[in-house]
Amino acid sequence: MKNMYKLLFAVLFAFAGVYAFAQPENDDCTNAIDLSTSLGQGIGNTIMTGLYSNTNAINTNDPQTGYGCFGEPDGNGLAPSLDNTVWFKITGDGAAYSIKASALDGCGTTDPITNNDTQIAVYTEGCANLTPLLGACNEDDPNDSSPNSYAALVDIQTQIGKEYYILVDGHNLNGTPSIGNFCMHITMTEQYIACDNAAVSGGTISTDNNILCEDFLTNIIVTDALAPNEGEAYGYAWVISDKDLEQDPTVSYEVGFEITSQPNSPLQFDQSSIEALTEPGSYYYTLITFGNGTPLTENPLYISNIMLDPACTWLSNSLEIEYYNEDDCPIDGILNIDESVLGMNVFPNPVQDALHLNINTKNTVKAMIAINNITGQTISQKEVNLSQGANALTMSVNDMPSGVYMIAVQSETHQSVTKFLKK
């Protein structure tokens, strides 16, 4: 009889052990699995961790907000729900990351989560006071073209030492939650750059033409500008003023027109967007590179809404530009934009690998074709001999990062400029 009890206890113990193992250890925020060791891997590199399962993740101690983007109710009139949630966390290092929950991309599971259909929401401020991170909610990676795959991906700009809690749920399709195995894929998208980094600089701005007229483009080239991403607000700002900021940096930044970044978001600027002048005259364009700024309003749109840190602020040189009304434009002083003399069309747009150019010219000319990114930096250029009439050319963009670019063809007297999107 004693041996029978021993056998019974052994069976019960084994069953209890299997049952405990089947319950995920991370189905509650307080048991979130720390993935911080997967950070710092270098831009573009992906670290994969797992397998993880949400099959038995039925803990109901979940937040009540922060998952409004989730894909339910699928037309059944119900609000989004949390069903089988698992939790992870990272401690920020100042860099930006894409975080994806997917059973594909080398995950190697034989029991993948249903339809690879995951959802992600990110929170801060600790498990006792979970606060949704603005914009960090996703149910489908827009760049995932795999068939029957609906993996979620979020982008996070981290702050040093701040903890981020990552909730992964399976999509509930008409009352049936997606369950199964998945992996976490973490990719660094932006390196952390501190204010004291030796490479940080206001850079130099220049132009081949300092005359700006209505309906004409002055192409400003930015060289060696690098902003830190330290602190709450950082990035670049264009300032157009009526005084030379390089000579007098105390000039109010509100003199003229300015563009700056949102907090926790690097600025992307386009030289065409600074053509906002309305009165003819002499103006100075200056690029401000800054970090560790303090927002003075909830969503600062301008650098005048940000308290700058003198130890983390740099100015480029101030570039003088003469602005004219169209009727008074000294046409001989600038390159003419006349499609009948020099015109260009590009396709496809958006483009993945090769950009095709159709260039029409009135005369046989030598010209320069240049591709600039949104900061004005030249990514690619080549000199070409154009024959009178139609010219078909191709430029490879396969190695260029995704984003908006300007492409220009320029002869001694004329130019044609257009934008394209690299996928």
257 lies in the same domain as 404? no
Confidence label for 419 from pLDDT (cuts 50, 70 and 90): confident
* CA distance to 23, 59, 110, 270, per residue, from 18 (Å): 9, 18, 20, 59
- Does residue 163 register a pLDDT over 50? yes
Given a contact cutoff of 8 angstroms between Cβ atoms, the answer to whether 155 and 189 are in contact is yes
**CA–CA gap between residue 241 and residue 258 (Å, rounded):** 9
Instruction: Look at residue 199 and tell me if it is in a domain.
Output: no
128: left (phi over 0), alpha (psi -120 to 50) or beta: alpha
342 lies in the same domain as 404? yes
* Structure tokens belonging to residue 329: 């434009």
Identify which has the larger pLDDT, 331 or 365.
365
Identify which has the larger pLDDT, 359 or 300.
359
Instruction: Look at residue 45 and tell me if it is in a domain.
Output: yes
Q: What is the 3-state secondary structure (H, E, C) of 320-341?
A: EEEEECHHHCCHHHCCECCCCC
Quick one: what percent of the chain has pLDDT higher than 70?
79
Identify which has the larger pLDDT, 398 or 322.
398
* Average pLDDT rounded to a whole number, residues 169-191: 92
**CA–CA gap between residue 408 and residue 161 (Å, rounded):** 44
pLDDT of residue 248: 64
310 lies in the same domain as 377? no
Identify which has the larger pLDDT, 25 or 319.
319
Instruction: Look at residue 396 and tell me if it is in a domain.
Output: yes
Q: What is the mean pLDDT of the chain?
A: 80
In the chain, DSSP finds a helix count (H) and a strand count (E) of: 1, 27
State which of 190, 212, 235 marks the end of a domain: 190
Confidence label for 336 from pLDDT (cuts 50, 70 and 90): low
Task: Count CB-CB contacts under 10 A for residue 118.
Answer: 30
Model confidence pLDDT, tens digit, residues 215-274: 555 667 788 888 888 888 888 887 777 778 877 655 444 434 444 444 444 333 344 444
The boundaries of the domain holding residue 66 are 2-190
Identify which has the larger pLDDT, 169 or 173.
169
Model confidence pLDDT, tens digit, residues 125-151: 999 999 999 989 999 988 887 788 899
State which of 161, 190, 219 marks the end of a domain: 190
174: left (phi over 0), alpha (psi -120 to 50) or beta: left
Given a contact cutoff of 8 angstroms between Cβ atoms, the answer to whether 401 and 422 are in contact is yes
Helix, strand, coil share of the chain (percent; to 5): 10, 40, 45
pLDDT of residue 51: 93
Q: Terminus-to-terminus CA distance in the chain, angstroms?
A: 73
Backbone angles phi, psi at 128, to 5 degrees: -75, -15
Domain count, the chain: 3
pLDDT of residue 218: 61
Nearest to residue 61, comparing CAs of 80, 86, 79? Answer: 86
340 lies in the same domain as 293? no
- Does residue 174 register a pLDDT over 70? yes
- Does residue 91 register a pLDDT over 90? yes
- Does residue 44 register a pLDDT over 50? yes
- Does residue 18 register a pLDDT over 50? no
* Average pLDDT rounded to a whole number, residues 185-197: 92
State which of 190, 222, 251 marks the end of a domain: 190
Instruction: Look at residue 69 and tell me if it is in a domain.
Output: yes
At position 14, the amino acid (one-letter code) is A
145 lies in the same domain as 254? no
pLDDT of residue 269: 39
At position 4, the amino acid (one-letter code) is M
pTM over 0.75, yes/no: no
* CA distance to 74, 113, 122, per residue, from 79 (Å): 9, 22, 19
pLDDT of residue 326: 64
* Average pLDDT rounded to a whole number, residues 53-77: 82
Quick one: what percent of the chain has pLDDT higher than 90?
33
290 lies in the same domain as 355? no
Cis omega (within 30 of 0) on the bond before 401?
Answer: no
296 lies in the same domain as 348? no
Instruction: Look at residue 252 and tell me if it is in a domain.
Output: yes
166 lies in the same domain as 312? no
100 lies in the same domain as 70? yes
pLDDT of residue 416: 83
Overall residue count recorded for the chain in this entry: 423
93 lies in the same domain as 242? no
362 lies in the same domain as 284? no
pLDDT of residue 420: 85
Given a contact cutoff of 8 angstroms between Cβ atoms, the answer to whether 228 and 197 are in contact is yes
